[in-house]
Amino acid sequence: MVPEWSWRYGFEPFAEYGDVFMTVSPVNCHIYIADREVITQITTRRDDFPKPAWMYRTVNMFGRNVVTTEGSEWKFHRKVTSPSFGEKNNALVFGETIRQGKMMLTKWTGEDGNGGITITDVLEDTMRLSLHVISGAGFGVSLQWPGMTEDGDLIRPLSNESTHRHTLSFKDALAGLLHNLLVVLVFPRWFLANAPFQWARKAAEASLEYQTYMNELFVEKRNEAIAGEKADGMDIMGALVKNSYGPETRLEEKKKPTTNNGDVERQALTDSEILGNAFVFLLAGHETSAGSLHYVLILLALHLDSQRRMQQDIDRIFGDRPVEEWDYNKDITAMQTSMIAAVMHEELRVVPPVINIPKQVSDESDQIVMYQGKQTIWPKGAVISLSALALQRNPKYWPSTGPSKVTEENNDLADFVPERWFVKNNVNGMQQREDVGIDGSAGKDASRLFHPMKGSYIPFSDGPRSCLGKRFAQVEIMILLAMIFKNYSVELAVDEVADDEAVEKMNEKERIALYEQQRATARSVMKNCSEIGITVRIKNGYVPIRLVPRGKERFIHLFKF
């Protein structure tokens, strides 16, 4: 099997061999899982099925963190870091996404907002936007897009105490580190700095500059916390520092509980652990949100009917209110039970950020796992892949709206169909909770969207070790979708086949044929994906799109929905 087989074949191998199967080689045993009950056992028995330590060891380069630790140490990290992702931070994400989204829209539609610009670097721009949102909501440092300026008060020195002469801006240090991430994780900085290759020296420079900036930022936030100053926002790093250095923490020092052997139980992260967790939040949140935003725009350009339905919900929720009047506390509930949320969840179902989530059987002993009502013994040290993409196309757990409109399959589970999230309860025996929404929200509107059975939907993993930044990413994606499609539609760009003048001269039938041709090309490009870095990306090529003011579309109005 080639490395891309999971993307290329989807659920097919599981349909042939079963929802759990093992490949055996002289090197190891590898178990692939697309069964929700088995996945639930794996994710809840975290000591029996830990993350592969060798795979994450290098991520400790800036400090131990919630991703790389296990056992009681992980419990401590999770307990301390979880509050940083609360509702106050979500509101900050909401506002920062609006600020950054406005700048991205200016780049995509021009200063006059008339659009007509063919966008070929969609992923590059969504990566920039995601990086900027994390910088603002994660570190409290607001960044600008090239050629755009705003209120200078939003930009402030990272530390008044620093004497370091920086060679890169904070933004370039972040971007440079992420761009050279694999190199930086594998090779020590001294080696890269002295290598005879410019790319290696640039990687070392970005790594050093990032670490220096983060140290400065830490000092600034520590001083604010010790002084009891109230920060303007509840950014993630600020919350972590406040937990360790704020007045409340210092007061609690006298009341720390002790363990049975008399040791003091830790209440706060060390300095290096704060920096280590800041790094993994940057790493985990950057590529996943950016990739999802990239794919959802292409999928909506392919599925124009779903795009129109989402725009109707956006109009219903926001009406004529300008984006400056949108409010997290007032608008988020309506968004998360609307077509906006359905589009987001469907993209994450069809293109999960990580196709195979890695686990392993504990090295200590074999483990017993229940599968189809029987006990099975899994050998110690075996590699495990929670096959998210196949699981989320398993007909046992997901409602099909009919035969595929794209392939010859008798179901549409490999297709992008956001409307499936509005199916009634108990479809094909699929039970769902009435009182809890897909994002964990509760209330009378929570059950409006289809709620998958536990363990069958894992774009952010599942169980106690599921992604801390899940809500962060969801808010970012939903608000950006609302911003873009409030005033614009997205269409596939056809420049490589016909220029604007040629399109204007075409009749309706010719335009439809042209768009269908471009659809086929886009689908062909998207088939050629693989896991690059930590997420799935288009391997070669790109899918160009255009943002067009609503009412001035060249193609959408030609299709009957």
SS (H, E, C) 139-197: HCCCCCCCCCCCCHHHCCCCCCCCCCCCCCCHHHHHHHHHHCHHHHHHCCHHHHHCCCC
In 236-270, which ranges are continuous DSSP H helix? 236-245, 247-252
For the chain, 561 residues long, the average pLDDT of each consecutive 10-residue run is 74 96 93 98 94 81 90 90 89 95 95 90 94 92 77 44 76 90 91 95 94 91 83 76 77 47 66 93 86 96 97 97 96 96 97 93 95 96 96 96 91 96 64 46 60 95 91 96 98 94 94 96 86 71 95 90 70
Q: Show Cβ contacts of residue 268 under 8 Å, excluding neighbours closer than 6 positions.
A: 80, 243, 244, 245, 249
- pLDDT in the model for residue 147: 75
* Contact present, 250 and 228 (Cβ < 8 Å): no
- pLDDT in the model for residue 55: 77
- pLDDT in the model for residue 153: 34
Q: Cα(185)–Cα(473) distance, rounded to whole angstroms?
A: 24
Q: Cα(437)–Cα(336) distance, rounded to whole angstroms?
A: 8
Q: How do strand 545-549 and strand 118-119 relate by DSSP bridges?
A: antiparallel
Tokens read off for 439: 């994002």
Q: How far is CA 186 from CA 52, 175, 182, 189, 204, in A?
A: 17, 18, 6, 9, 12
Annotated binding-site ranges: 467
At 87, the amino acid letter reads: E
Of the chain, the end-to-end C-alpha distance in Å amounts to: 40
CA dihedral 557, 492, 533, 127 (to 10 degrees): -80
- pLDDT in the model for residue 560: 80
Annotated binding-site ranges for heme: 467
In 35-158, which ranges are continuous DSSP H helix? 36-44, 53-56, 71-81, 87-109, 122-139
Identify which of 295, 297, 291, 345 has the alpha carbon closest to the alpha carbon of residue 488: 297
CA 35 from chain centre, in angstroms, equals 23
- pLDDT in the model for residue 509: 95
The CATH H-level superfamily of 5-80+281-554 is Cytochrome P450 (1.10.630.10)
Tokens read off for 170: 């904070």
pTM of the complete model? 0.90
Which part of the chain is CATH 1.10.630.10?
5-80+281-554
Q: Cα(526)–Cα(523) distance, rounded to whole angstroms?
A: 5
- pLDDT in the model for residue 435: 37
* DSSP code at position 438: T
